Amino acid sequence: MHVLQITLRDLEGRRFNGYDLHRALIERGHGSEMLVVRKGSRDPLVHAHTAAGEVFERALYGAERVTSLQGMLSPFGWTMPMRRCFRGADVVHWHLVYPHFIGIFSAPVLARRRPTIWTLHDPWAMTGHCVHPLDCERWKTGCGRCPDLSRNFAVWFDTTAMVWRAKRAAYTRAPITLVVASAWMARRVAASPLLRDHACRVIPFGLDLERWRPLDRAACRARLGIPADAHVLAFRVPHGARQLRTKGIATLLDALRRLELTRPTHLIVLEAKGALEDLRGRYTLHESGWIDDEARLAESLAAADLFIMPSIAESFGLMALEAMACGTPAVVSAGTVLEETTRAPEAGTAVPVGDAAALAAAVRALLGDDARRAALARRGREIVERDHGHERYIARHVELYRELAERGAGA
């Protein structure tokens, strides 16, 4: 069995974009290659477009925004059948390919050439332009008259009804098997007029349980320069205004300003730097920037008392799961997929979306209750070990690959 993983980049987001899956397949004796636009590894089985192709991809992103012909301009998909890695694949697996890698019009052509799986990391495939429709329901009826064209992926003109119809026409002719990581996403697929007729498998993300595990908290803090007896909160602050909104950062900052501190409190800020300057002094900041080293990221999560993820929209919430695996309970937004991922209140705590006062109260209560935090941490680790081991994640993909490979092209 030979599988081709297709995604935009190999190393950035490797835990969920197919690269770690690609390496795991090879280690288990299966054939696997990758096709990407931007290559960061030295893996000879990862094939990339030229440097000119990478520049073109960046320009294409801007062109799709300006013209609002989202997903309609990319030529990359049309070149794939000419590549040896595509022709030699028994199964092709798409990951992060939208909107400007595999275009809407090339999707059915590719899917009819090789048995094809598409892992949906968010609801973009179901909408007329946006990654997360939030409380908008127009994706269920055809989009058009979009209430927010600036929402990622932003467009300048309201072509959302046309794009929605183009997706419907393409998907109808594309024999694609969908994979989603959560029951929440599966319910979205079932409600989508564009995708509900496609086979859909729920395969939750898996973690290497030796890499992501509880560590000596005092030792982790010492390496980060944090006193053992401090309170420590960890969270991610992404780059970009649209991401900041989706991740609920305004609510988080408001909650941190409201939080009553009973001892010195340190903040481990993952990814973006400089967003919390007005809190410096009240808190001690540890701004790590983007961390590619999983061991360092696990150490940062294990050093914290709590991981805070107040997103208003997610499709799974992998970092919350990683925190659970490291023995750090998560505080998340109720009514989102994060409540499902953390099994709140069983192994996490959920507060109303956008309620800074409730978030501050939940954090304050948990920081003051060592026994409750320890119980959440134990249960979270048990859930990760039971449902999210890496071997189980790989085995479920191998089972699906074999099933589709046996059916052959057009499956």
Segment (H or E) for 145: none
Task: Check pLDDT > 80 for residue 332.
Answer: yes
Tell the residue number behind the tokens 């995708």, with chain if given: 195
Task: Check pLDDT > 70 for residue 410.
Answer: no
Task: Check pLDDT > 70 for residue 411.
Answer: no
What six digits make up the tokens of 113? Answer: 């050439």
CA angle, residues 249, 9, 104, in degrees to nearest 5: 90
Single-letter code of the amino acid located at 119? T
pLDDT in tens, 168-191: 999 999 999 999 999 999 999 999
Q: Tell me the domain boundaries of the chain.
A: 2-206+390-407, 217-387
Task: Check pLDDT > 70 for residue 57.
Answer: yes
Average pLDDT of the chain? 94
Distances (CA, A) of 160 to 69, 113, 406: 9, 29, 38
* φ, ψ of residue 197 in degrees (nearest 5): -90, 0
Closest CA to 176 of 101, 131, 125, 124: 125
Task: Check pLDDT > 70 for residue 198.
Answer: yes
Residues 6+ apart with CB under 8 A from 406: none
Please report the pLDDT score of residue 283 as a whole number. 97
**With pLDDT > 90 as the criterion, what percentage of the chain qualifies?**
87
Please report the pLDDT score of residue 243 as a whole number. 84
Q: What CATH number matches the domain at 217-387, 3.40.47.10, 1.10.1200.10, 3.40.50.2000, 3.40.50.720?
A: 3.40.50.2000
Distance, CA of 257 to CA of 230 (rounded, Å): 18
Task: Check pLDDT > 80 for residue 269.
Answer: yes
Distances (CA, A) of 343 to 141, 203, 215, 260, 382: 31, 17, 22, 27, 11
Distance, CA of 411 to CA of 406 (rounded, Å): 9
Tell the residue number behind the tokens 């301009």, with chain if given: 73
Task: Check pLDDT > 80 for residue 197.
Answer: yes
Please report the pLDDT score of residue 5 as a whole number. 97
Q: How many CA atoms lie within 13 A of 258 on its CB side?
A: 16
Distance, CA of 307 to CA of 287 (rounded, Å): 15
Q: How many CA atoms lie within 13 A of 277 on its CB side?
A: 3
- What is the helix, strand, coil percentage profile of the chain, to 5? 40, 15, 40
pLDDT tier, 408 (very low <50, low <70, confident <90, very high otherwise): confident
Please report the pLDDT score of residue 265 as a whole number. 98
Closest CA to 167 of 268, 72, 297, 79: 72
Please report the pLDDT score of residue 391 as a whole number. 95
Q: What CATH number matches the domain at 2-206+390-407, 3.40.930.10, 3.40.190.10, 3.40.50.2000, 3.10.105.10?
A: 3.40.50.2000
Single-letter code of the amino acid located at 54? E
Residue-by-residue DSSP string for 253-305: HHHHHHPPPSS-EEEEEEE--STTGGGBTTBEEEEEE----HHHHHHHHHH-S
Please report the pLDDT score of residue 386 as a whole number. 96
**With pLDDT > 70 as the criterion, what percentage of the chain qualifies?**
99
Task: Check pLDDT > 70 for residue 409.
Answer: no
Judge whether 2-206+390-407 and 217-387 match in fold.
Answer: yes
pLDDT in tens, 106-164: 999 999 999 999 999 999 999 999 999 999 999 999 999 999 999 989 999 999 999 99
Residue-by-residue DSSP string for 314-372: -SS-HHHHHHHHTT--EEEETTSHHHHHTTTTTSEEEE-TT-HHHHHHHHHHHHT-HHH
Please report the pLDDT score of residue 205 as a whole number. 96
Residue 19 CB: number of other CB atoms within 10 A? 24
Q: Are strands 348-351 and 306-309 parallel, antiparallel or unpaired?
A: unpaired
pLDDT in tens, 381-398: 999 999 999 999 999 999
The angle, 0 to 180 degrees and rounded to 10, between the axes of the packed helices 217-224 and 294-303 is 110
pLDDT tier, 290 (very low <50, low <70, confident <90, very high otherwise): confident
**Mean pLDDT along residues 372-379:** 98
Contact 45, 34 (CB under 8 A): yes
